[in-house]
Amino acid sequence: MSFQLESTDPGSAARTGRLTTAHGVIETPVFMPVGTQATVKAMAPHELRELGAQIILGNTYHLMLRPGLDIIERAGGLHRFMGWDGPILTDSGGFQVFSLAKLRRITPDGVEFQSHVDGAKMFLGPREAMAAQAALSSDIAMVFDECPPWPCDREYACRSVDLSLQWAALCRNQQKSKGQLVFGIVQGSVFLELRERCARELVALDFDGYAIGGVSVGEPEPEMMAQVDATVPHLPATKPRYVMGVGTPPQLLALVARGVDMFDCVLPTRGGRMGRVFTRHGPYSIRNAANREALVPLEDGCGCYACRHFTRAYVRHLVWCNEILGHRLVTTHNLYLYVNLLRQARAAVAAGEFEGFRREFVAHYTEGNDNDETV
């Protein structure tokens, strides 16, 4: 398994690369659709391939609960279980445990918590998380970490970094599935010197790649970008860099400009279920009255399946009637936008034109107005 840099942008830290995994090569920068429970919501695997997805995510915590690791392992691993033959990255469950703050107790060995499904007592630590990801046979496994909340004080963040580093060292030495890569996760909250320390100590452990975690947990965007700026210079240029759980299209391009290679975010699929359409000019609600008689695509000039075959008026009708197809079509469009925005960014970096591409995109992007939902 290897990561090979192919080109760099003369006007920024943006770069392109090729990450070789057991289930194929990933061209970076890349957007990874989120498939938490062994499915990208509303999408079949062949549809993801058709819109250009290279790699998808699964989640250790959720798959441990349902359907259970034994069933997935007997099926031949997560790829065969869900019918996806491309690369899969699995999150260790650390962020999900973070979200269960009222139902958990952190110990030096891991986290005791109650299942959000049935309240059953459970335990997840570095050994358990890595064993679970080995059973899933994902291409990229993430270390088990402790994600601090925002805001938190420096003392809490320091303890969190200490614990995450201890757990990362344990994860590094656990059994892996054949060809499985392991990424470390940099924590430190908004305390930049902690971010630097965490990055340096993780690099010394020599992981296959490095993620920047604990961002997009409520902090303002300038603080999020400052955390990335404090981390990237201390990560090796020869390894892939991954910002977890981010973000809007302009944020993705801003992070590409900072030298980040990999991204995931629930916004395109969550938006699809809410009727929120992402476009190159910003998001809008398909439920708005203005779309009731709009016999035009979801986005002019878009090449996705939804825009090639249907109108805003039709998709709005489906969403208002709560027809499943409406939510599927908006999700298809949103994922197409995200996946292909990163494809276009790759081409711009390779051509030495990324900063111009980014400035033009951001200049035309506005947040939109979703307030008018009159029938």
Note if 264 is an active site residue. Answer: yes
Parallel, antiparallel, or unpaired: how do β-strands 56-59 and 30-32 relate?
A: unpaired
Q: For residue 111, what are the CA distances in angstroms to 37, 91, 149, 161, 357?
A: 21, 16, 15, 15, 44
Tokens describing residue 46: 């062949």
Taking the CA atoms of residue 222, residue 228, residue 230 and residue 233 in that order, the dihedral angle to the nearest 10 degrees is -140
Cα Rg of the chain, angstroms: 20
Cβ atoms of 111 and 151 closer than 8 Å: no
The H or E element that residue 121 is part of is strand 121-124
Find the length of the chain. Answer: 375
- CB-facing half-sphere around the CA of 352: CA atoms within 13 A: 1
Considering the candidates 208, 261, 264, 300, report the single residue annotated as catalytic. Answer: 264
Considering the candidates 9, 70, 91, 261, report the single residue annotated as catalytic. Answer: 91
Note if 300 is an active site residue. Answer: no
Tell me the C-alpha distance between 177 and 288, whole Å. Answer: 48
Tokens describing residue 187: 């924590």
Tell me the C-alpha distance between 127 and 71, whole Å. Answer: 20
What residues are annotated to the active site? 91, 264
